[in-house]
């Protein structure tokens, strides 16, 4: 029965996420090792997470991570920095967030990372979106902590940002502000949990489905 359920889940992912092993430099970081492709994005591989970044919008669309709950994790470092892999005209800077009213919200959380150098990678601005402060510091933080506390062994986490057709922007580089976030957690090949929250003051985090997250994030070939 377990093998049948695993095959069903992989089949669902193959249909909706348009999975492909081609062109990825870090397939091991995607949920269950299956590469997700999103139109008009650049893959930015890091040691413990991968970001899919839309250069034309200067926007993180999603970050996927392979989280090992059995390994101790490194202390937080508040050293936000631009991603030099991107052209200057295609990346955010710290000045974009200055006095914007938004936090630099991690997509792949720093607290999930295992060494100081890997924590430093999580502070790349290509892993950030403008996140409403009360969401970032309260309910979304609680969700991240809950994922870490309930994970056992290898866990895959995907965090996605949804943008409207004409999003609000911040800074001279016009960094778009997401309207909503999704987080899906693969605790095993047959146990998946998804959550969502609007990017507004005092937003609640509520349950979502994998299918809803896929549709909202517009993940396609």
For 214, residues 6+ apart whose C-beta sits below 8 A from its C-beta are 16, 17
Instruction: Say what the pLDDT of residue 73 is.
Output: 85
C-beta separation of 61 from 68 below 8 A:
no
* pLDDT: which is higher, 219 or 106: 106
Least confident of 15-24, 104-113, 163-172, 191-200: 15-24
Task: Tell me the pLDDT tens digit for each residue of 44-100.
Answer: 999 999 999 999 999 999 999 999 988 888 888 889 999 999 999 999 999 999 999
Q: Where are the beta strands (DSSP E) in 15-86?
A: 42-45, 49-54, 59-68
Give the length of the chain.
221
Task: Tell me the pLDDT tens digit for each residue of 177-193.
Answer: 999 999 999 998 778 99
Q: Is 202 a catalytic residue?
A: no
Instruction: Say what the pLDDT of residue 190 is.
Output: 76
Instruction: Say what the pLDDT of residue 220 is.
Output: 53
Provide the Cα torsion 186, 200, 78, 128; round to 10°: 60
Please tell me which residue in 34, 73, 81, 106 is annotated as part of the active site: 106
CA distance 99 to 41: 28
Q: Which long-range contacts (CB under 8 A, 24 or more apart) does 32-35 make?
A: 32/156, 32/186, 32/189, 34/10
The reported pTM is 0.88
Instruction: Say what the pLDDT of residue 206 is.
Output: 98
């Amino acid at each position: 029965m377990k093998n049948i359920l695993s095959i069903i889940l992989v089949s669902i992912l193959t249909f909706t996420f348009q999975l492909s092993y081609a062109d990825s430099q870090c397939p091991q970081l995607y949920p269950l090792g299956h590469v997700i492709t999103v139109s008009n994005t650049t893959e930015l591989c890091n040691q413990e997470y991968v970001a899919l970044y839309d250069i034309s919008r200067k926007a993180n669309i999603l970050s996927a991570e392979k989280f090992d709950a059995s390994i101790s994790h490194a202390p937080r470092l508040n050293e936000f920095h631009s991603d030099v892999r991107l052209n200057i005209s295609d990346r955010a800077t710290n000045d974009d967030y200055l006095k914007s009213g938004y936090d630099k919200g991690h997509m792949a959380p720093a607290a999930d990372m295992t060494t100081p150098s890997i924590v430093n990678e999580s502070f790349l601005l290509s892993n950030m979106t403008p996140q409403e402060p009360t969401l970032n510091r309260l309910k979304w933080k609680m969700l991240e902590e809950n994922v870490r506390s309930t994970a056992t062994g290898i866990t895959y986490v995907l965090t996605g940002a949804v943008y409207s057709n004409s999003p609000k922007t911040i800074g001279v580089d016009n960094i778009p502000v997401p309207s909503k976030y999704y987080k899906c957690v693969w605790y095993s090949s047959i146990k998946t949990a998804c959550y969502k929250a609007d990017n507004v003051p005092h937003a609640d985090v509520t349950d979502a489905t994998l299918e809803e997250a896929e549709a909202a994030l517009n993940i396609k070939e």
